[in-house]
Amino acid sequence: MGLDRQKLEAALQTGRNNPYLRFSLHLFETVCSTNQILWDLLAQGAEPGCVVLATQQTAGRGQWGRQWMSSTGGLYLSVAIANGNKAAENPTAFCLPKLYATNSYQLTLAIAWGIAQQLRSCGVPVLIKWPNDLVLASRKLGGILTQTKVQQGQITQAVIGVGINWINPVPETGINLEMWQANQHTKAISCLEMLISTVLIGIESGIQCLFEQGVNILISRYLELLMNMGEKVYINNTVGAVIGVTNTGELRVRMETSELKSVKTPEIYLQPGTISLGYCHSSELIKQEL
């Protein structure tokens, strides 16, 4: 299944009133990993704003090195960005303001919110599962992987990978967009090119929110779409509830009692990767030992 460049460019032009980013599209059928191809292109001199697109990956990766099933028919893309120093070298480059490595998760949160919000504006009621999964009808629709290069504590380059299930087969906990749309009265996303355009515009709007309106506004919007709010978790024999996310991406959990040997306050912060919330209802308990 080939991608139609003209159709994609037309969809992008129609959907963007005031372009914030400058995209350079590189379309492929099958790649090992869109992130890896993009890093290779950057090493060969590609500019920030470079986008690699494919409908299949043979060696895709998710967060924390997990394998990402990337069957034919899905959407797999990566976008390159650089820090503000690049702007002096090339005023047309897609650049970040200064962002410290300790705040790298802000990029992931921004993009998760931006894509979810853009899909919702098209009639697809996507929610976010902390920190970076896109969820539809209580099943995983897609995910985000952010990779960075750091120098002197600051991010100098970032590659943001996004995978979305379109018509590809998915596991029991997953859903593809065409599967969901088959049960709807109208088809919100008519083709793969429209989905790509929607995702790229979402990436654009998320980054724009972070760097123009600030992380506090971004987090407040992110929490509005977070499916885990109020979800019960069981940590070190004590029940707590998810109450939010910090500005650096940690999960905020309020414990029902402060009588924990290692915790002096009833609120604790969990780093991404230290707890898996799964795809469950808030009434179910997620157990985790810290």
Q: For 166-189, write each residue's pLDDT tens digit.
A: 999 999 999 999 999 999 988 999
| Stretch among 17-21, 159-163, 213-217 having the lowest mean pLDDT | 17-21
Average pLDDT in the chain: 86
Across residues 265-279, what is the average pLDDT? 84
Closest CA to 164 of 145, 194, 142: 142
Model-level pTM? Answer: 0.88
Q: What is the CA radius of gyration of the chain?
A: 19
> For residue 1, what pLDDT is reported?
54
Residue with tokens 């100098």: 156
Q: Can you tell me the distance from the alpha carbon of 277 to that of 290, in angstroms, rounded to the nearest whole number?
A: 14
Say whether domain 5-224 belongs to CATH 3.30.930.10.
yes
The token pair that represents 278 in the structure block: 């799964």
Q: Can you tell me the distance from the alpha carbon of 287 to that of 290, in angstroms, rounded to the nearest whole number?
A: 10
> For residue 290, what pLDDT is reported?
41
The token pair that represents 112 in the structure block: 């998760």
pLDDT at residue 10 tops 90: yes
pLDDT at residue 285 tops 80: no
Q: Where are the domains of the chain?
A: 5-224, 232-288
Cα dist from 72 to 65, 131, 166, 175, 228, whole Å: 21, 26, 9, 15, 30
> For residue 242, what pLDDT is reported?
95
The token pair that represents 63 in the structure block: 């967060």
Q: Which residues of 115-147 are buried (b: 16+ CB within 10 A; e: fewer)?
A: bbbbbeebebebbbbbbbbbbbeebbbbbbbbb
Q: What is the pLDDT of residues 98-138, one digit of tens each?
A: 788 988 999 999 999 999 999 999 999 999 999 999 999 99
Sign for the CA dihedral angle at 233, 134, 160, 162 comes to: positive
Under 8 Å between Cβ of 225 and 113: yes
Q: What is the pLDDT of residues 26-60, one digit of tens each?
A: 999 889 899 999 999 999 999 889 999 998 888 65
Count Cβ atoms below 10 Å from residue 278 Cβ, excluding itself. 11
Q: What is the pLDDT of residues 87-102, one digit of tens each?
A: 445 555 566 677 889 8
Sign for the CA dihedral angle at 228, 240, 254, 248 comes to: negative
Q: How confident is the model at residue 274 (pLDDT cuts 50, 70, 90)?
A: confident
